[in-house]
Structure 1
Amino acid sequence: MAPEADPTLVTTRRALHALAAQVIAPLRTQATGNEIALRPRPGGFGTPELPEGGWVGVDGTDLVRVDGEGARETAPITSLLDAADFVGLDDAASALTDAPLEVHAGAAQILADAWASGEEALIALGGDDTTPILWPEHFDIAIEHAQATYGVSPGDDAHPEPYAYISLWTPPPGLETGPSTFWNAVGFTGAERPWTNDVDELVAFFRAGAAAR
């Protein structure tokens, strides 16, 4: 049975995940033609720089829109439909709802810290040329390294709290897995550990996985 988590953390993660997958990433696709990848931003997440400059995203309990000149506007998170209107997502009304989104400031900060520390640890693992990606589908920040995916997830149905993970692409024959082994992941072949804001601990975990293969 999965451990219980602060319900505000789960509610906030689900609300922000919906925003990422249904509003923020589609806005980037609209602007670029095909790109969906996001990145951590102070207080949350958002697009990389858009072709005409600026970016859109989330900071705590607010939506953020920054134009090409650096002017910043914010609006409270209320619903997917309102968010689409604020960021300028075209033709979204038929697909999105005006159901309220519940985002709690403290929980949003925990998730923002998880992505930010994950980004720093993944760059340390992969090198200065590494660009970790915050994928809107799974809402994790990750890189590919040494035939595995390394990342930090804000949580999911099997993990109510943020966690760091290593997912093996092709597990070697005879790999010992299970709760008492290093390769202890739930729901995939790999390793996991509770998230910590200590970047050095995250880097040590990732490097231990790379060395253990």
Structure 2
Amino acid sequence: MDDVPLVAMRRSLHALAEGVVSPLRVQATGNEIALQVRPEGFGTPDLPGGGWVGTAGTQLVRVGADGDAKAIAITSLRAAARFVGLDEAAAAALPDDTLEVHAGAALILADVWANGDEALRGLLDGASPADEPAPINLWPEHFDIATELGAGETRATYGISPGDDDHTEPYAYVAPWTAPAETGSATFWNAHGFTGAERPAEDADEILAFFRAARELLTAGGGG
């Protein structure tokens, strides 16, 4: 997959997350912005009245309280907002420009989120309450899925990003809350654009092994 359609699809989905899907959850709950991984994409958790909205590939999906699902092709933010039921004033304020979509890129990003979600769940499996594990959320601002784990100087954010201004490809990352003693491209803590470690987001087992290696370093001596 060429980086160009991957980046374009990521930006289109990111715009939907920030401009439509998360605001729809805020409208339904009053304050909750976090999203979650859904089959072939992402969406809201189940809404207070039942149902959810989100994406599946290059489609926008609206599931009613009775489980009835409807879908339309992703076109513009304004059309998406009206389809999911966002307040009309908020929908009218959104751009009506057609978003760039690529089916292959959408599937790649969906796989990244699914593998990342599986790895994060594996990381949290059996975690001690003393480590204060945080829920796994897909955050609309940075468009990554992440959790937090650890106490004191061992606490870190563990996540998977579909890419950003510094990364054209998806990647897994660990961002310690206390900066490691040694950082840089030749160290474990090799992240570009932030303090932490990053690795390619490949399969769930490799992502989980990376998370566990970072966890071991942090608990052994604050980052190594």
TM-score range, shorter chain: over 0.9
Aligned to 1:180: 186
Aligned pair partner of 1:58 in 30, 45, 55: 55
Whole-Å separation in 2 of the counterparts to 1:93 and 1:177? 45
SS in 2 for 1:203: helix
Q: Is the 8 A contact 2:134 2:149 kept in 1?
A: no
Aligned pair partner of 2:32 in 30, 35, 42: 35
33-42 or 163-172, larger mean C-alpha shift:
163-172
Aligned to 1:136: 140
Aligned to 1:81: 78
Q: Does the C-alpha gap of structure 1 residues 65 and 93 become closer, same or farther in structure 2, counting only changes over 3 Å?
A: closer
Query: Percent identity over the alignment?
Result: 64
* Structure 1 stretches of 4+ moved >3 Å: 128-131
Aligned to 1:127: 125
Aligned pair partner of 2:166 in 151, 155, 158: 158
Q: Is the 8 A contact 1:123 1:131 kept in 2?
A: no
Whole-Å separation in 2 of the counterparts to 1:56 and 1:201? 30
Whole-Å separation in 1 of the counterparts to 2:86 and 2:201? 33
Question: Mind listing any 5+ residue stretches in structure 2 that lack a counterpart?
Answer: 127-132, 219-224
1:94 offset after TM fit, Å? 4.3
1:38 offset after TM fit, Å? 0.3
Whole-Å separation in 1 of the counterparts to 2:162 and 2:25? 21
Aligned to 2:20: 23
Aligned pair partner of 2:210 in 170, 184, 205: 205
Q: Is the 8 A contact 2:35 2:137 kept in 1?
A: yes
Whole-Å separation in 1 of the counterparts to 2:85 and 2:67? 17
Whole-Å separation in 2 of the counterparts to 1:46 and 1:103? 17
Q: Which amino acid in structure 2 is aligned with residue 9 of structure 1? A: L
Structure 1 position 12 matched with structure 2 position 15: no
Q: Is the 8 A contact 1:27 1:88 kept in 2?
A: yes
Q: Which amino acid in structure 2 is aligned with residue 137 of structure 1? A: E
SS in 2 for 1:92: helix
Question: Mind listing any 5+ residue stretches in structure 1 that lack a counterpart?
Answer: none
Q: Is the 8 A contact 1:123 1:130 kept in 2?
A: no
Number of equivalences: 207
Q: Is the 8 A contact 1:40 1:46 kept in 2?
A: yes
SS in 1 for 2:42: strand
Deviations 1:28-53 (A, max 9, x none): 00000000000011110000000000
Whole-Å separation in 2 of the counterparts to 1:176 and 1:67? 51
Q: Please report the TM-score for the alignment, with normalisation by the length of structure 2.
A: 0.89
1:171 offset after TM fit, Å? 1.5
Q: Is the 8 A contact 1:40 1:116 kept in 2?
A: yes
Aligned pair partner of 2:105 in 107, 118, 128: 107
SS in 1 for 2:175: strand
SS in 1 for 2:19: helix
